[in-house]
Amino acid sequence: MAETNAVQPVSLDPSRRRRLAEFWFYFSENRGAVLGFWLFVLLVIVALLAPVIAPHLPNAQYRDAVLVPPFWEEGGSAVFPLGTDPVGRDMLSRLLYGAQYSLFIGVVVTTIALLGGIFIGVIAGYFGGWIDTVIMRIMDVILAFPSLLLALVLVAVLGPGLTNAMIAIALVLQPHFVRLTRAAVMTEKGREYVTAARVAGAGPMRLMFRTILPNTMAPLIVQATLSFSSAILDAAALGFLGMGAQPPTPEWGTMLAEAREFILRAWWVVTFPGIAILITVLAINLVGDGLRDALDPKLKRS
Amino acid sequence: MTAVLEARNLVRDYHVGGGLFAKPRTVHAVKGVSFSVEKGRTLAIVGESGCGKSTLARIVTLIDPATAGELFIEGQKVDIAKDKLTPEMRQKVQIIFQNPYGSLNPRQKIGDVLGEPLLINTDMPASERRDRAMAMLKKVGLAEEHFARYPHMFSGGQRQRIAIARALMLNPSLLVLDEPVSALDLSVQAQVLNLLADLQDEFQLTYVFISHDLSVVRYIADEVMVMYFGEAVEYGPRDEVFANPKHDYTKTLFAATPRADVASIKARLARKAAA
Amino acid sequence: MPLLEIENLVVEFATAAGQFRAVDGVSLSVEPREVLAIVGESGSGKSVSMLAVMGLLPWSAKVTADRMEFDGVDLMTLTPAERRKMVGKDMAMIFQEPMASLNPCFTVGFQIEEVLAVHMGMSRAERRARAIELLDLVGIPDPADRLSSFPHQMSGGQCQRVMIAIAIACNPKLLIADEPTTALDVTIQKQILDLLVSLQEKYGMGLIMITHNMGVVAETADRVIVQYKGRKMEEADVLSLFENPKSNYTRALLSALPDNATGDRLPTISDYLVDEQPAAGAAS
């Protein structure tokens, strides 16, 4: 025992690197998660490097090359590897730039919904009583609307555009976080370690955000990844309805919308944006599963 | 010698129901209980489920207020329903719970579990907090390498040791032990009881030991109080209570406790053979 | 002929960390009309071995034994259907948490009659009469009224009585009680233990009492098996076990009882197990 201490003095303040290594160890036990993680990393790289790797500008129209099929089809050319859309823009370039929008939407919407939802949910769950009742009834009202309809109404009030669409989607997604947080806080609040922290002198703020909150993160992380993907989907839907990102923005949902009359004639104009959305959503959901496994010590085996 | 803890006529009522249709009902969980414990002594509170002993523990630990009655800790009157609890008072009483799996925050490393009380209540620098936590860890029989581990890596007995260490970080004078060994195996129970006895000797701790297990109570207690439906039906020095129980319930309780000695086995086998 | 005879029972669980051997070569036998206690701490494999006998282990468990016979029938070769016919009829079990063992959605009467319908094929009227008789037998007042009670309307002790009624409904030859009183108060524990022993004597059942409580052993058992980490440490009749324990582990268990405290500190297991450490280490 003395020997092990000599070799590796217990790191009292575990360095960031060690914690990361520990996290990666548990995370990498889930192969799907690792696959999802690399896909996601790839997506981020693509989004960041889009201006460098895209063969064309996203909005450059080549009027003599309208609806060119992908290069392996008859009539395709290597100039437009994934073909062109009805106004002659390069599909590949638009998809690459679209990744930027999708990630941006996912990150912003999820962050707003998560932070707001956690804050409101912790307050409701911890204090209970009339505060809880008021908060939860408001959330029930929001949940009672079909989510897309509510987002549409909000966008109609705020005015169409990507920013307003993101705010609207965040507002619509937020009650899910509130409910999850509240339920988890209420369960954890009664646990003895919370009482023990109270007896140690911890005040309400510390109890809420330092003691209880970290123990409610597992379901929230899963919900956050789901929201990330549904934010992308909702934004696409709003774009499709003309209320989100406005053309000619190369947002995947807007691209789908623009292409819907050509589904039968040119399969590639809808298939590639669809696949892009599918892969992104799938990758994020896989990562979510892995995160849950890695972050929840109750599931750890040692 | 002054009493570290004195309770006069503690009462605790709960209001239950009172929904849309149900009439609110009042449950008397504790009905006027008085006792006192002197420094370095152990008072055992015995009773079955629902007798109010855990409610009493929460009152004494200053978690919940009493509905009526007076509570003195080291001679100072405390009423958390009226006044805000001072940090000094908070540090004097600590509690250890029954379930060692629920009483440690699963997301806190052991070092942080032990350091937290100091972080909240003192402005000690981090290095000193660490040294103190480390010293306490060793005192309860764990080792340095346990410092950076999470609670789920420990057995029930080890977790109970950690809970004890956490309770002692603030140098309390009174320790409330709510069934601290009933979730543990027999052999581990013995170790934890020994540890509690050692710590009591070393720090002159005062214990309020809540239990349903009479054999443990007989081993550890100086005074014994038996509770039945919120009332203290028996209260006195251990030997007196065990030798000469006055209340009928106490007698029933003693008679119902299984005996694991050779004489009673012989008696039982003889009865069986005769039947 | 013994009622239940097990030789060299091994139960292994496939876990993420590899094979875990919960029961390691345990042999035991129960005679008719005998009370056998299996004592051990958590992780001693005492419950697992009996669940193996009942065929109630999850699929991840691998059960092997040289012999596992109940009432002359080889349990290892039974089909699942044949086994189901036997479990609950000739061989019954009660568990630690009475509240959790009863289905909260159905009345007590329904749950007793269910067993009778499955195993005895009685008519509705017969079932009802038998259910009332059983509740009376286990000491529940107003049995006819209580048939329509739901489990949450009863106390823990009463629920355990109902569990016992269900277990003995088909006159089993063997009753396995897995920590039947651990979740109950001392005074209720006494009543339940008395009830179990009196029923056992009245109907001449074999009774296996799984417990960690030496007091319960002393109050009920004829013969005792002490288990530790999946292995049998000692087997003796109850008096000689307490009077003259042969294995160090048993001695340690007995001396760790606060009743037997001599000094102001209790001896702990490690004080005794020093010489048995290698064996214990090999088992884990």
| The residue count for chain A | 302
Of residues C242, C251, C244, C247, the one with CA closest to residue C269: C251
* Closest CA in chain B for residue C260: B261
**Does A6 touch chain B if contact means CB atoms closer than 8 Å?**
no
Residues 232-261 of C with CB under 8 A from B: 238-239, 242-243, 252-254, 256-261
Taking one residue from B and the other from C, the number of pairs with CB-CB distance under 8 angstroms is 102
* pLDDT of residue C272 exceeding 60: no
Structure confidence by residue, pLDDT tens digits, C244-266: 898 888 888 888 888 777 667 77
* Substitution target from B161, B187, B265 for chain C, most C beta carbons within 10 A: B187
Identify whether the C-beta of residue C232 lies closer than 8 Å to the C-beta of residue C27: yes
The CA distance from B166 to C69, in Å, is 52
- How confident is the model at residue C276, as a pLDDT? 41
The CA distance from B242 to B262, in Å, is 20
Identify whether the C-beta of residue C116 lies closer than 8 Å to the C-beta of residue C127: yes
The CA distance from A197 to B188, in Å, is 25
Which residues fall within 8 angstroms of residue C116, CB to CB, at 6 or more apart?
C122, C126, C127, C130, C131, C169, C170
Of residues B172, B167, B174, B171, the one with CA closest to residue B192: B167
What's the domain range around B102? 3-274
* Closest CA in chain B for residue A9: B145
Domains identified in chain B, total number: 1
Strands C206-211 and C174-178: parallel
Tell if the CB–CB gap between C261 and B268 is shorter than 8 Å. no
- How confident is the model at residue A300, as a pLDDT? 47
Which pair of structure tokens corresponds to residue B98? 């029954």
| ipTM summary value | 0.85
Q: How far is A155 from chain B (nearest CA, A)?
A: 40
- How confident is the model at residue B114, as a pLDDT? 92
* pLDDT of residue A13 exceeding 70: no
Which pair of structure tokens corresponds to residue B119? 């972080």
- How confident is the model at residue C128, as a pLDDT? 92
Among partner residues A198, A297, A302, which is closest to B107 by beta-carbon distance?
A297
Burial call A9-35: b when 16+ CB within 10 Å, e when fewer: ebebeeeeeeeeeeeeebbeebeebbe
- How confident is the model at residue A10, as a pLDDT? 42
Look at A278 and A2; give whichever has higher pLDDT.
Answer: A278
* pLDDT of residue A175 exceeding 90: yes
Longest Cα pair distance anywhere in chain C, in angstroms? 63
Q: Average pLDDT in the C228-255 region?
A: 89
* Residue owning tokens 């988890």: A184
The CA distance from B11 to B30, in Å, is 5
Structure confidence by residue, pLDDT tens digits, C98-129: 888 899 999 999 999 998 988 888 889 999 99
Among partner residues C185, C258, C268, which is closest to B216 by beta-carbon distance?
C258
* Substitution target from C42, C158, C186, C244 for chain B, most B beta carbons within 10 A: C186
- How confident is the model at residue C17, as a pLDDT? 64
The CA distance from A182 to A120, in Å, is 8
Tell if the CB–CB gap between A298 and B152 is shorter than 8 Å. yes
Q: State the chains in contact with B (3 or more Cβ–Cβ pairs under 8 Å).
A: A, C
CA distances from A223 to A26, A117, A136, A218 (A): 20, 11, 18, 9
Which residues in C112-238 belong to E strands, given as ranges? 174-178, 206-211, 223-228, 231-237
Between vectors from CA C283 to CA C282 and to CA C284, what angle results, nearest 5°? 95
Structure confidence by residue, pLDDT tens digits, A61-112: 888 888 888 888 887 788 888 888 888 888 889 989 988 888 888 899 999 9
* Closest CA in chain C for residue B253: C187
* pLDDT of residue A295 exceeding 70: no
Give the DSSP H or E segment for B133: helix B126-139
* pLDDT of residue A248 exceeding 90: no
Q: pLDDT-derived band of residue A250, with 50, 70 and 90 as boundaries?
A: confident
Q: pLDDT-derived band of residue A194, with 50, 70 and 90 as boundaries?
A: very high
Identify whether the C-beta of residue C208 lies closer than 8 Å to the C-beta of residue C174: yes
Percent of chain C predicted with pLDDT > 70: 92
Q: pLDDT-derived band of residue A5, with 50, 70 and 90 as boundaries?
A: very low
Which pair of structure tokens corresponds to residue A218? 């597992």
- How confident is the model at residue A226, as a pLDDT? 78
Which pair of structure tokens corresponds to residue C146? 């209580």
- How confident is the model at residue B260, as a pLDDT? 82
* pLDDT of residue A9 exceeding 70: no
- Dihedral sign from CA coordinates of C257, C261, C265, C269: negative
Q: Average pLDDT in the C163-174 region?
A: 91
pLDDT string in tens for chain B (275-residue length):
578 899 999 999 888 766 666 677 788 888 889 999 999 999 999 988 888 888 899 999 988 888 898 999 988 888 888 878 888 888 899 999 988 888 898 888 899 999 999 998 888 899 999 999 999 999 998 888 888 888 888 888 899 999 999 999 999 999 999 988 888 888 888 889 999 999 999 999 999 999 988 888 988 999 999 999 888 999 999 999 999 999 999 999 888 888 888 888 888 888 888 87
Q: What is the CATH number of the domain that holds B263?
A: 3.40.50.300
Which residues in C31-170 belong to E strands, given as ranges? 35-39, 61-64, 67-70, 73-74, 91-94
Q: Which domains does chain A have, with CATH numbers?
A: 29-55+81-301 (1.10.3720.10)
The CA distance from A94 to A92, in Å, is 5
Residues 78-117 of B with CB under 8 A from A: 87, 90-91, 93-95, 97, 99, 102-107, 111, 116-117
Which residues in C131-217 belong to E strands, given as ranges? 174-178, 206-211
Between vectors from CA B44 to CA B38 and to CA B49, what angle results, nearest 5°? 145
* Burial of residue B179 (number of CB atoms within 10 Å: 0-12, 13-18, 19+): buried
CA distances from A115 to A122, A222, B87 (A): 11, 15, 32
* pLDDT of residue A7 exceeding 70: no
Residues in C closer than 8 angstroms to B268, CB to CB, are 218-219
Identify whether the C-beta of residue A117 lies closer than 8 Å to the C-beta of residue A175: yes
Tell if the CB–CB gap between A200 and B170 is shorter than 8 Å. yes
The CA distance from B71 to B48, in Å, is 24
* pLDDT of residue A298 exceeding 60: no
Among partner residues A192, A203, A215, which is closest to B107 by beta-carbon distance?
A215
Tell if the CB–CB gap between C41 and B187 is shorter than 8 Å. yes
* pLDDT of residue A282 exceeding 90: no
The CA distance from A136 to A190, in Å, is 20
The CA distance from C26 to C35, in Å, is 18
* pLDDT of residue A259 exceeding 60: yes
